[in-house]
Structure 1
């Protein structure tokens, strides 16, 4: 089912612009539930994407994006702590506001190409997501929740990496549309 899930989520994995706005369009009430925002170790893929050395403090923010109470996206953003004193200082005060509002308000912020990626079923990121999902929702995350998209935002030379992981049910909706997709037969 892995390849089928990716194909059906392709629109979401490749959709440009603000994911928060696209997800919010699916219902009446959109909310960002902050699961964690703290200094944490940077993972190898994040370090590579941000071009950072092994050492140094990293700020990680993990959230659930919910529509009408339903969690649809688990997201993780990471940046070097030095960037919080400079170009990305607004991240500290985001609270439950979407990161997308910050990323798309400033036309000087550049985004890398979106990189779809299948998570390892037993990888650290997936285990972290499963634990947080259970604690936040009281239910287990779908075993098919494996496809994410990754990108790096650059502002005045400082970089912020964002990873967004989708529930498989989003495949039933076109990004930015309330219309359900026609079932594949």
Structure 2
């Protein structure tokens, strides 16, 4: 995706239009999304790893992490699933230069939740939540759709920053509507 097509990530105070209350609640909830999805699914929650490894980070990721354009980083993409349905596509990235000296071993997470790890380690400080309409081209083919809402925040511990983006998929909204009735 060209740099000009990078989405404009906005904080809660910079939203151009008010968000529906339920959408705002999900996008700007400060708690653990893993815990919320586990509750939403009555405990039928799991993490399905899709892809992980060292690769060049996207321009918006380098900017958010304070890295040079084209920096290499660890990329982890997963589905957060409820009742075996993809509810959230999550992409987490960290700069190689910071990750290699951090003692954090993202390669060994497997099907464990990165969010649960970050929330359980009190050394990590969570930055501001930002939202956007996520580019369809950045999504896996199975869930590729225009206009899906996403949020991201950076968890920092010393020099290490872990940028976590979570894209809310239509199946989550269906499940949330069913559970609210």
Whether 2:24 is the aligned partner of 1:10: answer yes
1:61 is displaced (CA, Å) by: 0.3
**Structure 1 residues 73, 145: closer, same or farther in 2, change over 3 A?**
farther
Alpha-carbon distance in structure 2 between the residues aligned to 1:88 and 1:78: 15
Greater relative contact order (CA < 8 Å, ≥ 6 in sequence): 1
TM-score, structure 2 length as denominator?
Answer: 0.79
**Structure 1 residues 83, 93: closer, same or farther in 2, change over 3 A?**
farther
Q: Is the 8 A contact 1:153 1:159 kept in 2?
A: yes
Cα deviations by residue, 1:103-147 (Å, 9 ceiling, x for unpaired): 011112101111011123xxxxx324132xx2xxxxxx3736610
Aligned residue for 1:76? 91
Q: Is the 8 A contact 2:34 2:113 kept in 1?
A: yes
The residue correspondences of 1:41-52 to structure 2 (distance < 5 A) are 41-52=56-67
Aligned residue for 1:165? 167
Alpha-carbon distance in structure 1 between the residues aligned to 2:44 and 2:180: 21
Greater fraction strand: 2
Whether 2:72 is the aligned partner of 1:37: answer no
Cα deviations by residue, 1:84-105 (Å, 9 ceiling, x for unpaired): 3222523121111000121011
Aligned CA RMSD, in angstroms, stands at: 2.5
Aligned residue for 2:81? 66
**Structure 1 residues 88, 173: closer, same or farther in 2, change over 3 A?**
farther
Structure 1 unaligned segments of length 5 or more: list them. Answer: 121-125, 135-140
2:158 is matched with which residue: 138, 156, 164? Answer: 156
Whether 2:130 is the aligned partner of 1:130: answer no
Whether 2:108 is the aligned partner of 1:105: answer no
**Structure 1 residues 119, 56: closer, same or farther in 2, change over 3 A?**
closer
Alpha-carbon distance in structure 2 between the residues aligned to 1:119 and 1:181: 26
Counting matched residue pairs gives 163
**Structure 1 residues 180, 35: closer, same or farther in 2, change over 3 A?**
same
